[in-house]
């Protein structure tokens, strides 16, 4: 087999065989296929697309390019969850302990934030001493003992995707649906899940800006799931405004704990219940989402959901008191409020601008190596649709340096739009896609 023939075949709209795709992934991972040929192939895919069969083959080949986690020693159906990323998206911090409290084993690998979209692993480090790097045995044993562990992604998972993603980033080929879908699904499959719940974000603060794009991506991922025998459900949810009120690591952890206790923001609570109840159905624990939702609401009200997070924090080296006394989490020195200049209704909150402001404060990173400040960020007081009077607080900024506060204020100028009226409700969940 020759890579040049596969590039030509794809350039001319042909379909690669399973063997050709395996050859391409193996060759690219071991270095025998150079970047320039892989770039040409990725660009051919960008223009010509891939069939569902090719996309499934690419996913499995990338999943098999490195270490694969074997979760078979854990009892039950392992349901993983993945978000395509957004601003204020602390869903995993709530969903993981919540569904674990219901009885679904959660052995989850999560990422760090990059750019304006935050990462679960950074947020968890707001608990002093919390260890995100664990040996495979510690990770599995913790899930056997308490039902949940969330750790950082193993360095040796899907090396083919790591290399190809970096290449796509610099060759203008990131935005190819079969490549995005196979990239995400290969990591989920290598992480060992039996079933996968995908939260595909859409809007100003998300990777996918239109519902059509989000739906195309969701359909492609659900199709891959079916093809490789993993039940996959995609929820397409709104990311035009931040999720919940808090943006920034420790601030989001506090909001996640409040949500686990049943006192969370309406949108975050709704998303968590929608995702969590579907995970319970996929895990075979309940017959339908209504039953799942009721179970999760009971776990929130009884305090068992919060207790499960506390158990996880303790098991991974933190102090469980931090969960019950949120004033022990990192706190910023400067608290600054921004108020409304006019009466009206909040008609839009630019999630991307709020995300950028949080990065400027130090809550996120622009390069993978940048240190972050866990205490800083923003807390919204109003969401889209809320009525506001001139002088009322729109957002509280938590900062540790005056200059960074000034920079963040500049970054979020115009982020809140106030109008005399609003045109209808913006849905939180646009669509659920199942095979």
Contacts with ligand URA by CB under 6 A lie at 165, 174, 179-180, 183-184
Please check whether residue 22 is in contact with residue 61, taking contact to mean a CB–CB distance below 8 angstroms. Answer: yes
Tell me the closest approach of the beta carbon of residue 213 to ligand URA, in angstroms: 12
Question: Rounded to a whole number, what is the distance in angstroms from the first to the last CA of the chain?
Answer: 34
When the beta carbons of 165 and 430 are compared against ligand URA, the nearer one is 165
When the beta carbons of 158 and 249 are compared against ligand URA, the nearer one is 158
When the beta carbons of 92 and 316 are compared against ligand URA, the nearer one is 92
Tell me the closest approach of the beta carbon of residue 86 to ligand URA, in angstroms: 12
Q: Which residue is nearest to ligand URA (CB)?
A: 183
User: Strands, DSSP E only, in 118-181?
Assistant: 148-152
Tell me the closest approach of the beta carbon of residue 183 to ligand URA, in angstroms: 3
H or E stretch at 39: helix 35-48
Please check whether residue 107 is in contact with residue 140, taking contact to mean a CB–CB distance below 8 angstroms. Answer: yes
The CA-CA-CA angle for residues 175, 177, 178, to 5°, reads 125
Query: Which residues carry out catalysis?
Result: 82, 161, 168, 183, 187
Residue with tokens 């913006």: 426
Interacting residues of 228 by C-beta distance below 8 A, sequence separation 6+: 56, 59, 60, 185, 189
Tell me the closest approach of the beta carbon of residue 410 to ligand URA, in angstroms: 29
Please check whether residue 283 is in contact with residue 79, taking contact to mean a CB–CB distance below 8 angstroms. Answer: yes
Tell me the closest approach of the beta carbon of residue 187 to ligand URA, in angstroms: 6
When the beta carbons of 221 and 286 are compared against ligand URA, the nearer one is 221
When the beta carbons of 180 and 235 are compared against ligand URA, the nearer one is 180
H or E stretch at 380: strand 377-380
List the structure tokens of 50: 């891939």
Instruction: With CA atoms as reference, report the closest residue to 353 among 240, 255, 244.
Output: 240
List the structure tokens of 104: 């679904």
């Amino acid at each position: 087999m020759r890579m040049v023939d596969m590039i030509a075949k794809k350039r001319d709209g042909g379909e690669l065989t399973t063997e050709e795709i395996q050859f391409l992934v193996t060759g690219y991972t071991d270095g025998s296929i150079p970047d320039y040929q892989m770039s040409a192939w990725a660009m051919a895919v960008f223009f010509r697309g891939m069939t569902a069969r090719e996309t499934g083959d690419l996913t499995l080949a990338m999943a098999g390019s490195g270490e694969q986690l074997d979760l078979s020693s854990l009892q039950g159906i392992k349901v993983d969850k993945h978000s395509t990323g957004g601003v204020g998206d602390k869903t995993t911090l709530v969903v993981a302990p919540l569904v674990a409290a219901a009885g679904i084993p959660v052995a989850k690998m999560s990422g760090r934030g990059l750019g304006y979209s935050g990462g679960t692993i950074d947020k968890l480090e707001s608990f002093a001493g919390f260890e995100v790097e664990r040996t495979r045995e510690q990770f599995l044993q913790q899930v056997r003992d308490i039902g949940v562990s969330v750790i950082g992604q193993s360095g040796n998972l899907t090396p083919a995707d790591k290399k190809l993603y970096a290449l796509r980033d610099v060759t203008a080929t990131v935005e190819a649906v079969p490549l995005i879908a196979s990239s995400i699904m290969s990591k989920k499959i290598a992480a060992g899940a039996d079933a996968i719940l995908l939260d595909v974000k859409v809007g100003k603060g998300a990777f996918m800006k239109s519902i059509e794009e989000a739906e195309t991506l969701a359909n492609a991922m659900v199709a891959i799931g079916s093809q490789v025998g993993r039940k996959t459900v995609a929820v397409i949810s709104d990311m035009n405004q931040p999720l919940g009120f808090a943006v920034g690591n420790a601030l989001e952890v506090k909001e996640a704990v409040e949500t686990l206790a049943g006192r969370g923001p309406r949108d975050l609570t709704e998303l968590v219940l929608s995702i969590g109840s579907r995970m319970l159905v996929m895990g075979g624990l309940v017959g339908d989402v209504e039953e799942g939702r009721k179970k999760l609401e009971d776990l929130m009200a009884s305090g068992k959901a919060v207790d499960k997070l506390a158990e996880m924090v303790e098991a991974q080296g933190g102090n469980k008191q931090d969960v019950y006394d949120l004033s022990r989490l990192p706190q910023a020195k400067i608290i600054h409020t921004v108020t409304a200049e006019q009466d009206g209704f909040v008609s839009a909150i630019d999630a991307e601008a709020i995300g950028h402001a949080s990065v400027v404060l130090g809550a996120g990173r622009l390069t993978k190596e940048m240190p972050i400040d866990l205490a800083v960020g923003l807390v919204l007081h109003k969401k889209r649709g809320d009525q506001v009077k001139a002088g009322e607080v729109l957002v509280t900024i938590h900062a540790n340096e005056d200059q960074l506060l000034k920079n963040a204020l500049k970054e979020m100028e115009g982020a809140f739009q106030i109008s005399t009226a609003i045109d209808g409700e913006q849905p939180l969940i646009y669509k659920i896609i199942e095979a």
